[in-house]
Amino acid sequence: MLSPHEFTTLMILRDAPDQVEPDRAELHTLVELRLVVLESFASGQQRPHITPDGYALLKAVCRAR
């Protein structure tokens, strides 16, 4: 189960991925759970992206409300 912080981070990634710092602890957990992947650029920067599983989780939670 995701913590409130992890779930909030997933929602922020959906709506504003540039707002999430790549060193957030919640982001690392989401990557471990394969809900998010980090895209690496030649410049060395990383940008998080939600995986299909991450989108499915968000969709399921929205239906459950």
CA distance 20 to 48: 8
The count of domains in the chain is 1
Residue-wise pLDDT for 25-35, tens only, equals 999 999 999 99
On whether the CB atoms of residues 50 and 10 are closer than 8 A, the answer is: yes
Has residue 65 got a pLDDT over 70?
no
Domain boundaries, position 30? 4-64
Residue-wise pLDDT for 10-23, tens only, equals 999 999 988 888 78
The vertex-42 CA angle with 37 and 12, nearest 5°, equals: 35
Has residue 37 got a pLDDT over 90?
yes
Q: Tokens for 17? A: 């991925």
Q: What is the pLDDT of residue 24?
A: 87
Higher pLDDT, 21 or 6: 6
User: What are the backbone dihedrals phi and psi of residue 30, each rounded to the nearest 5 degrees, phi first?
Assistant: -65, -35
